Each structure stands twice: as structure tokens, then as C-alpha cells.
């Protein structure tokens, strides 16, 4: 058994160099164990001669899916993740399509862990709470956070984009990230008592949370899955949860649409416009995860201000079918995933009936933020205008380049505008494949929410049948 010592828990370069050398020397996974730190002796090779050969090992060619998986998998806290990564790498030599075999136990274990890492990154973005301090250079915002996995380095660029005009630090048990207004740097693990404990912004968070808490929509289990208890201890607003839950019934009765308190000055500043550094031509996303994190920080148009979050496309890179909708709706905006609300259910049923696997398709929207206007407690959908569609086309165009689908199914006029670059006459142009000047193939059809809105049952039946026929054609054209 060879023990390979890596420099840190997320030492991807060290893992790559060691694994490359191990694989080139024909050392199977069963004979290797990766550890971190200095306590264990590094014995990559049995002798100095073998060790010197390691430096000459050429770079390996591996599928992009593996590279992307490894980059996230290493952030998982499971101690055997390095071994799993090496097992996958080893097997790829004889099974080049291994990463596509979702039922394979190693691939499935890796996918599950990558999902956990993504979730931990998502939670970190949602639950970091900065507290104000001052140092010799002036105002500085400091947060303490305990991520479920080692996602500090992964998420720090998000905070740098979001809070680009502030000086801040995020302290965690794994390390610390510091932003000085222009440069991101990382430091050693921190302790909670190094972060400020309470400040007046806390009261603001509590007021804000209490005012956005809607007792009529209380679903305790869902709330706990979105805001898991492990994060509560560092969230000022979490102290309110037990009481808010207990009094939800009473409050529902007494609730009249009371105006939310004005956001205080600090919060307004936190949300002040920032220059979008993710969506410029010199920051072209090189893969879908990079695109998703760019979309998250997008400021190309003002829609981000009123949306809960951006909703990026979802689905495998290399999907044969790309489905483009208009924009996320109320439920998509809250969950951060496309097509999960009523229109999404109509779409899923129709895809099923047409024999198209939704999970194998790439679903996205022309516009990535929810445009709406408040009406009492509801948020009413508003159609994005041509300027907003044009601003967001930057992302859609990159999604098209990265996914390279055989066919793009555009749902409705807004999707048609985004995909074709001109406003189409949907009912006239639907149902046939349109070639774009750059060689993409587009099939135009109606938006599923149009089917939901049709009051006349006979017309609805006819339109549903036409929609089904369009999807049949999509299936044939993506074969």
C-alpha cells in the first residue's frame, strides 16, 4: 500500500500530479491511499529512481465530465474522495465512456457527492451574514460560516462579485477568504471568536426575515430543507423561527397586507449596482458550471434586483435537445431551477408523452431573472422586453455554444426572439425546423403556459394536439 500525502484537503493539483504518475506506473487503486497533511510519510514510489520517472509523465487525456466532477468532488468532506477520484481515473483507461454510466456505483457515488458540494455552495451563498467591523483601513465586513463541505474557494468569487465595493472576510474552520475591494486572497482556518458576534445589522435581518415570512405559506419541512438546521446557529434571523412557526396560525388570520419596513441604508448599499465582471467578452464561460456562476452574478439588466436569484439552464452538456422558455416564474425564482411550476408540469407531461427524456434535455430560458410586479401578496409575471431579452442573449448564446444541441426547441415568442434574433410569428412558423445563419436548427412552438390559459376546452384540445405534434418532431429531429 502506498500512502500519498497531499498538501491540503483540496489539493487538486497535487492529486492530479500524483495520480498521473501512479497511473502511468500501473499502480492500481487498491494499492493506493491518499491522505493529507504532514503526519504521514509521502511514499509515492518505492525508490528514488521510480520517483524521478514521475516527473516525466505526460498529461493524461480524460473526458471533460471527469475533470468537472473531480474539481467539485475534492471539496467533499468524505475522507475517501481522493481514492474514489483515482478509481474513476484508473477505470477511464479501459472504460472511456464511464462517466456517462449513471448507474455505475463509482459514478453514482461521485455524482451524489458533487450534488452535496453544489448544495453546500448554494447554502453558503444564501446564508453567509456579514457583520460590520472597523480596522486601520476603515469599514470591513466579517462573516463566520461553517460550510457543509469545503466550498470556501469555490464560492468566494461569487461574494467578490456581489459585494465588490466592500472590504470583507469570510472566516470558516477550513480557511478564510479576504476581499480588499480589488483582490481576493485566502488565509488559514479561523475560529468563530475571531469574528464579531452581534451588530445592529442583526436586528435588520430579523426585521427583514419576519416581514418576508408568510405564515399563510408555511411549510415547515420544506423550510427546513431549504434552511437546514445546521446553519441556524449562525443566522440572526433563525432565532425567530420557532416563534414564527408557533404563531403562524394566528398571524395568518390577522394578516392584512402590511407594508414591509423600508430597507435600511446598509442593506440598500449591499444591493447597490455593481459592474458586471462576469459577462464581458474577455470572461467567456468555459463550461456550464462557470456559466452558472456567471449567471448568478449577472447585472446586465436591472431584473436581478427584484428577483430572488438567477435561474440558469439545467441539463447535461452535450444534450441533444435544448429547450428554451421565456423566463423563470414565481416557483422557479424561489427554487433556482427552471420549469418546476405549473408550465413546467405541462411541459414535462408533454415531453413524456412524446418519448423525450426531460433529464437528458437541457432546459433554459431566454431571460434568467423573474420579471414581475407585486399585486398584494402575489408576484405577477411580466413579459420581458426586447432590451432585457437582448441583454440576456449573451448567456443563451454561450449556453448554445457549450451544449451544442442538435435541435433547439423555442417555446413561444420571447424564446423565438432570443434564439432567432427576430420576433417570430409563432403560429405561422411553428412545426418546422428553421436553420439559423450560424447553422443551428430551431423548432418553434407555443409556450406551455399558453395551453394553461386557454379557456375554451375544444381549442385547448386542438392546441395540445398541435403541441404534442411539435414535440414528436423534436424527438425525431434529435435522434
Name, in order, each residue with C-beta under 8 angstroms of 14's C-beta and a sequence gap of 6 or more.
Answer: 6, 7, 8
- Residues numbered 310 to 329 that lie near ligand URA (CB under 6 A) are 325-329
CA distances from 353 to 340, 346, 358, 469 (A): 18, 11, 11, 10
| Residue 139: strand pairing partners | 134
State the Cα–Cα distance between residues 68 and 201, nearest whole angstrom.
38
Binding mask 446-475 for ligand URA (x = CB under 6 A): ---x--------------------------
**Binding to ligand URA by residue 339, rule CB under 6 A?**
yes
Residue 344 to residue 252: CA distance in whole angstroms: 29
Cβ count within 10 A of residue 357: 12
In the complex, the smallest distance separating the C-beta of residue 218 from ligand URA, rounded to whole angstroms, is 24
Shortest distance (Å) from residue 103 CB to ligand URA: 28
- CB of 454: closest distance to ligand URA in angstroms? 16
- Site size toward ligand URA (CB under 6 A) is 13
Name the helix (H) or strand (E) containing 169: strand 168-171
Please tell me whether residue 336 binds ligand URA under the rule CB under 6 A. no
Q: How far is the CB of 344 from ligand URA (least distance, A)?
A: 5
Interaction pattern, residues 222-261, with ligand URA; x per rule: CB under 6 A:
----------------------------------------
Of residues 421-450, those binding ligand URA (CB under 6 A): 449
Q: Considering only 91-99, 300-308, 336-344, 470-478, which stretch makes contact with ligand URA by CB under 6 A?
A: 336-344
171, 195, 343, 413: which one binds ligand URA (CB under 6 A): 343
Query: CA nearest 412: which of 404, 423, 421, 399?
Result: 423
**Cβ of 461: how many Cβ atoms within 10 Å?**
11
Closest distance to ligand URA from the beta carbon of 370 (Å): 9
Q: SS3 for 36?
A: strand
Would you say 75 or 418 has its CB closer to ligand URA? Answer: 418
Residue 306 CB, shortest distance to ligand URA, in Å, is 17
Q: Which one of 294, 313, 338, 424 is in contact with ligand URA (CB under 6 A)?
A: 338
Task: Name the grid cell of 403.
Answer: 451544449
The strand pair at 168-171 and 138-144 is best described as parallel
Backbone phi and psi for residue 323, each to the nearest 5 degrees, phi listed first: -110, 125
Minimum CB separation of residue 358 from ligand URA in Å reads: 12
CB of 336: closest distance to ligand URA in angstroms?
A: 11
Q: How far is CA 430 from CA 83, 410, 454, 466, in A?
A: 51, 9, 18, 9
Residue number of the CB atom closest to ligand URA: 325
Nearest CB to ligand URA, comparing residues 174 and 296: 296
- Rounded CA-CA distance 50/225 in Å is 50
Closest to ligand URA by CB, 170 or 415: 415
Least Å distance, CB 323 to ligand URA, is 9
Candidates 298, 286, 273, 288; CA nearest to 114 is 288
Q: Are 268 and 208 a contacting pair, CB within 8 Å?
A: no
Least Cβ distance, residue 400 to ligand URA (angstroms): 17
Q: Which helix (H) or strand (E) holds 142?
A: strand 138-144
Output 211 or 427, the one with its CB closest to ligand URA: 427
Does position 344 interact with ligand URA (CB under 6 A)? The reply is: yes
Q: Kindly identify the residues of this chain, within the stretch 349-388, that bind ligand URA according to CB under 6 A.
A: 365
Nearer to ligand URA, 328 or 416 (CB): 328
Nearer to ligand URA, 237 or 332 (CB): 332
Residue 55's Cβ-count burial label (10 Å; 0-12, 13-18, 19+) is: exposed
Q: Hey, which residues between 121 and 180 contact ligand URA (CB under 6 A)?
A: none
Residue 17 vs 335, nearer CB to ligand URA: 335
Cα separation, 415 vs 112, in Å, equals 32
CA pair distance 9, 154, nearest whole angstrom: 14
3-class secondary-structure state, position 200: helix
Pairing between strand 407-411 and 441-445? parallel
Residue 104 or 397 having the CB closest to ligand URA: 397
Q: Given the rule CB under 6 A, which of 68-76, 151-159, 239-247, 332-340 is the region that contacts ligand URA?
A: 332-340
Query: Nearer Cβ to ligand URA, position 241 or 413?
Result: 413
- Backbone angles phi and psi of 435, in degrees to 5: -90, 130
List of residues contacting ligand URA (CB under 6 A): 325-329, 332, 338-339, 341, 343-344, 365, 449
Amino acid at each position: 500500500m502506498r500512502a500519498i500525502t497531499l498538501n491540503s484537503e483540496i489539493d487538486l493539483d497535487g492529486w492530479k500530479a500524483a495520480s498521473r504518475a501512479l497511473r502511468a506506473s500501473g499502480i492500481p487503486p487498491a494499492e493506493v491511499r491518499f491522505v493529507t497533511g504532514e503526519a504521514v510519510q509521502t511514499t509515492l514510489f518505492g525508490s528514488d529512481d521510480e520517483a524521478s520517472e514521475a516527473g516525466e509523465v505526460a498529461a493524461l487525456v480524460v473526458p471533460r465530465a471527469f475533470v468537472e466532477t473531480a474539481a467539485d468532488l475534492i471539496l467533499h468532506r468524505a475522507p475517501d474522495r481522493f481514492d474514489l477520484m483515482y478509481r474513476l481515473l484508473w477505470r477511464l483507461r479501459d472504460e472511456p465512456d464511464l462517466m456517462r454510466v449513471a448507474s455505475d456505483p463509482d459514478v453514482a457515488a461521485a455524482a451524489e457527492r458533487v450534488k452535496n458540494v453544489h448544495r453546500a455552495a448554494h447554502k453558503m451563498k444564501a446564508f453567509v451574514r456579514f457583520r460590520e467591523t472597523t480596522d486601520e483601513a476603515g469599514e470591513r465586513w466579517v462573516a463566520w460560516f461553517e460550510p457543509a463541505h469545503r466550498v470556501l474557494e469555490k464560492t468566494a468569487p461569487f461574494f467578490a462579485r456581489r459585494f465588490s465595493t466592500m472590504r470583507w472576510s469570510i472566516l470558516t474552520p477550513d480557511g478564510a477568504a479576504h476581499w480588499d475591494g480589488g483582490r481576493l486572497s485566502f488565509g488559514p482556518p479561523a475560529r468563530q471568536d475571531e469574528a464579531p458576534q452581534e451588530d445592529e445589522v442583526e436586528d435588520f435581518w430579523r426585521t427583514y426575515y419576519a416581514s418576508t415570512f408568510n405564515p399563510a405559506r408555511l411549510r415547515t419541512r420544506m423550510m427546513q430543507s431549504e434552511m437546514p438546521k445546521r446553519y441556524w446557529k449562525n443566522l440572526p434571523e433563525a432565532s425567530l423561527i420557532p416563534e414564527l412557526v408557533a404563531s403562524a396560525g394566528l398571524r395568518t388570520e390577522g394578516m392584512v397586507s402590511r407594508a414591509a419596513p423600508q430597507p435600511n441604508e446598509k442593506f440598500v448599499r449591499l444591493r447597490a449596482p455593481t459592474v458586471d465582471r462576469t459577462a464581458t467578452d474577455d470572461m467567456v464561460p468555459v463550461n456550464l458550471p462557470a456559466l452558472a456562476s456567471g449567471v448568478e452574478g449577472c447585472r446586465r439588466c436591472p431584473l436581478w434586483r427584484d428577483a430572488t436569484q438567477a435561474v440558469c439552464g439545467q441539463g447535461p452538456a452535450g444534450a441533444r435537445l435544448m429547450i428554451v422558455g421565456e423566463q423563470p416564474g414565481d416557483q422557479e425564482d424561489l427554487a433556482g431551477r427552471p420549469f418546476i411550476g405549473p408550465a413546467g408540469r405541462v411541459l414535462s407531461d408533454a415531453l413524456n408523452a412524446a418519448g423525450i427524456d426531460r433529464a437528458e434535455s437541457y432546459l433554459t430560458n431566454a431571460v434568467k431573472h423573474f420579471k414581475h410586479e407585486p399585486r398584494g401578496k402575489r408576484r405577477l409575471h411580466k413579459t420581458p422586453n426586447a432590451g432585457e431579452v437582448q441583454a440576456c442573449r449573451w448567456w443563451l448564446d454561450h449556453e448554445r455554444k457549450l451544449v451544442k444541441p442538435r435541435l433547439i426547441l423555442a417555446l413561444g415568442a420571447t424564446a423565438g426572439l432570443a434564439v432567432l434574433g427576430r420576433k417570430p410569428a409563432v403560429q405561422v412558423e411553428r412545426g418546422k425546423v428553421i436553420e439559423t445563419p450560424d447553422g443551428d436548427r430551431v423548432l418553434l412552438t407555443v409556450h406551455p403556459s399558453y395551453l394553461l390559459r386557454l379557456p375554451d376546452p375544444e381549442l385547448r384540445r386542438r392546441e395540445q394536439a398541435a403541441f404534442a405534434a411539435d414535440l414528436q418532431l423534436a424527438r425525431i429531429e434529435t435522434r
